Structure 1
């Protein structure tokens, strides 16, 4: 299928073996990333799951039709990891759960609310200063990340 032509051909970083630790960084889009200087640390990971980025114009695919996550996975995360908090999980939190399933070591960057308790993206200014977590159960997502960090299941870099 032509849709798979948009994915890189390199797969060696995904090879797992007893003498190799597959490190993954999940980079959220929280305003907490601003000024954090985590870039070099993030780049040291084998696999990096990042925030929204436009696809290269050379890619010939209907971007509106390309979906990476199966709805069953979204439901699994919503029910089993978040106890159905919020209308649906954020893509960032789904990235955390996916990384927990496929990576030997997971580091999480750019998650959490700003100083006013809003979950906003680092590239935007909120018009509604009482936005909270929007449709996501952000408080529950953050709590789960903190619990996983406390149990040393992932490394959590909070930002500012």
Structure 2
């Protein structure tokens, strides 16, 4: 906030200085009788600079282009809804009934605990989320969303990825031994309980919950460690600071499913969850490690797993439809895709 106020003061001071210089030149030319100076011309030029300054002040961000700029694409404007918060927080903790009915059946569990009691317990354990929706005309937040595709092999994107403000990774993605291609820094790591891995101390864990038990697991993993199995084994304990845990909103999940996926598949993939999240909290979004490799193989950059693309046939995620969404975002310059070298 102090930085923004400082910048605003500097720009206001610049305007006053321009007024002073213009007044001096007008008075000077009028008193000296020099014909080479035209007050009308100077006022015209000053008005143009002032108009540009006011336009810049009304801009949505300080990047050359801003993700949230409307009227670039009707397709985008019909889908993008900035009024829906991406995170579940102490102050954004009510899940609409229609959302809950959809969400609670994503990964069916027997006798789920009361959701309101679960959320209350959750935010007694972790603090309310930081404000990521702090955009404005003086912010240019550049984000890299790093997928797990084998097309990152030999890409040498590491330094380029690390140069971003936010660097988002997902699920089991390792960086050790792959730094040259995928970078070494991470700011936000998207997981669900079954995909949690050890994170560095300064990394924020963004939990994508698919069931009430996932929210209960967060509390358990930070306290008594009583939950060690959901539909698969999960860690009893996690070494993550409570201040570094964010929880993806079920309402935001359904918004992506309804508005972006148009109800294709059962629910979006972690990759699409990460991309749409980035559109809402970033000003410029670059995508790395999405799609197949140059030979058409769907596998991870750290393994040659022939079944890695099986999600495209299971029906859980509609991979082809998701690829179309990302392709459309690229075609209207809302994201930039780096396909590998």
Q: Aligning the two structures, in what range does the TM-score lie when normalised by the shorter sequence?
A: 0.7 to 0.9
Give unpaired runs (5+ residues) of structure 2. 1-123, 173-196, 202-220, 226-234, 238-244
Q: Retained in 2: the 8 A contact 1:118–1:131?
A: no
Aligned to 1:119: 298
Q: What are the Cα deviations for residues 101-143 of structure 1, in whole angstroms up to 9, with x where unaligned?
A: 1111111111112456553322333354873625321111111
TM-score (norm 2): 0.39
Q: What are the Cα deviations for residues 12-70 of structure 1, in whole angstroms up to 9, with x where unaligned?
A: x9854423311111111111111111111111111111123523498x72667977212
Quick one: higher RCO (CA 8 Å, sep 6+), 1 or 2? Answer: 1
User: How many residues are aligned here?
Assistant: 155
Please give the secondary structure, in 2, of the residue aligned with 1:85: coil
Aligned to 1:108: 287
Shift in CA distance, 130/21, structure 1 to aligned 2, threshold 3 Å: closer
Distance 1:150 1:159 in 2: 18
Matched, 1:23 2:142: yes
Aligned to 2:333: 152
Shift in CA distance, 40/78, structure 1 to aligned 2, threshold 3 Å: same
Give unpaired runs (5+ residues) of structure 1. none
Q: Retained in 2: the 8 A contact 1:24–1:103?
A: yes
Shift in CA distance, 96/129, structure 1 to aligned 2, threshold 3 Å: closer
CA RMSD of aligned residues (A): 3.3
Aligned to 2:310: 131
Shift in CA distance, 119/64, structure 1 to aligned 2, threshold 3 Å: farther
Matched, 1:3 2:107: no
**Structure with higher helix content:** 2
Aligned to 2:97: none
Matched, 1:78 2:257: yes
1:87 deviates by 2.1
Q: Retained in 1: the 8 A contact 2:151–2:294?
A: no
Distance 1:37 1:51 in 2: 19
TM-score (norm 1): 0.77
1:95 deviates by 0.7
